[in-house]
Amino acid sequence: MTRLSGPDQRDLRRAKRLLERTSLAIRISNVVGLPIERGIELLPRRASALVTAATRRALETALRFALVTLDDAPGARSADLWHKVLVTATGAGGGLFGMPALAIELPVSTTLMLRSIADVARSEGERLRLPETRLACLQVFALGGRTQADDAAESAYFAIRGALARALAEAAQFVAERGLAREGAPAVVRFLTQIAARYGMVVSEKTAAQALPLLGAAGGAVVNALFMDHFQDVARGHFIVRRLERAYDPEAVRRAYVDLA
């Protein structure tokens, strides 16, 4: 088995720290000083259906529009702060108007986050013109929505990637052959459905936080900044691992990741 070099081993350690770090719910609770459960209690009964619908629509919107303004220039430095500023501004509007604004705010925030994720991917050497790379960017939304069952696995990160692998490959093949113009195709729909199921958990946490009393517009901005932070971290870790998989045997990278303390 090929051993990773010292610098690459350090990069892998950084990736694991980013991918396995504290969940979004805990990060939000630590900042706002109130548990997310309080916000969940304040959500209306129809909130779950609203979040589900808004999440799916947000992913479809992001897939169509997020990458059109990025060129295919691997290695370019990612503009993490600029994307964070933009998504923070959208969070202020969401916090001000509450649940009714979710259907408008979430697609905008998700599109900005997918653009930032793609920017991170490009900085780690990915070619954005490749369908598989574009869908790997979308995959980050699932990687950022871990469950307790995932946490019990040998590696939550690789467990989620494995669960999504077939759907990603089928969707990438379809997009390579026919493009994104027909995103309603079964292969793409299956992939989006799996992503939406996990991303929806994180969106529910974000929505619950914005439902907390006294947060308002300022609180919505803070929550969205943490939202972006969370997915930028997951994206950085994910695309570091993918960069190393291009340089080494992917199984060697996986074993080295698992073996890290």
Q: Is residue 119 a contact partner of residue 137, using CB atoms and an 8 Å limit?
A: no
User: How much is the average pLDDT of 116-120?
Assistant: 93
- Domain membership of residue 35 (yes or no) is yes
Amino acid at 240: I
Question: Which of 115, 34, 125, 145 has the alpha carbon at shortest distance from 77?
Answer: 125
E strand intervals along the chain? none
Res 32 pLDDT > 80: no
Q: What pLDDT score does 60 carry?
A: 85
Q: 203: helix, coil or strand?
A: helix
Question: Is residue 208, in this structure, part of any structural domain at all?
Answer: yes
50: helix, strand or coil: helix
**160 vs 152, higher pLDDT:** 160
**Burial of 12 (C-beta count, 10 Å sphere; 0-12/13-18/19+):** buried
Residue pair 230/27 in contact by the 8 Å Cβ criterion = yes
Number of domains forming the structure of the chain: 1
Region 229-243: mean pLDDT is 95
pLDDT tens column, 61-94: 888 777 776 777 777 788 888 888 877 777 665 5
Residue 139 lies in a domain: yes
If you search the block for the tokens 């947060």, which residue do you land on?
215
* Mean pLDDT (whole number) for 159-170: 91
Q: Return the pLDDT at 203.
A: 85
pTM reported for the whole predicted model: 0.85
Alpha carbons 201 and 220: distance in angstroms, whole number:
18
Long-range CB contacts (within 8 A, 24+) of 202-205? 202/24, 202/141, 202/144, 202/145, 202/227, 202/230, 203/51, 203/54, 203/55, 203/58, 203/106, 204/40, 204/47, 204/48, 204/51, 205/23, 205/24, 205/25, 205/28, 205/36
Quick one: how far is CA 11 from the chain centroid?
A: 20
Specify if 1 maps to a domain. no
Which DSSP symbol is given to 68?
A: T
Residue type for position 28: I
Q: What percent of the chain has pLDDT over 70?
A: 77
- Mind giving me the DSSP string for 206-243? HHHHHTSTT-HHHHHHHHHHHHHHHHHHHHHHHHHHHH
Buried b (16+ CB within 10 A) or exposed e, 104-133: ebbbbbbbbbbbbbbbbbbbbebebeebbb
- Tell me if 169 is assigned to some domain: yes
Q: What is the pLDDT of residue 35?
A: 64
Expressed as residue numbers, the domain containing 151 is 6-259
Question: In 3D, which of 225, 167, 239, 152 has the Cα closest to residue 197?
Answer: 167
Question: Are 113 and 55 spatial neighbours (Cβ–Cβ below 8 Å)?
Answer: no
154 has pLDDT over 60? no
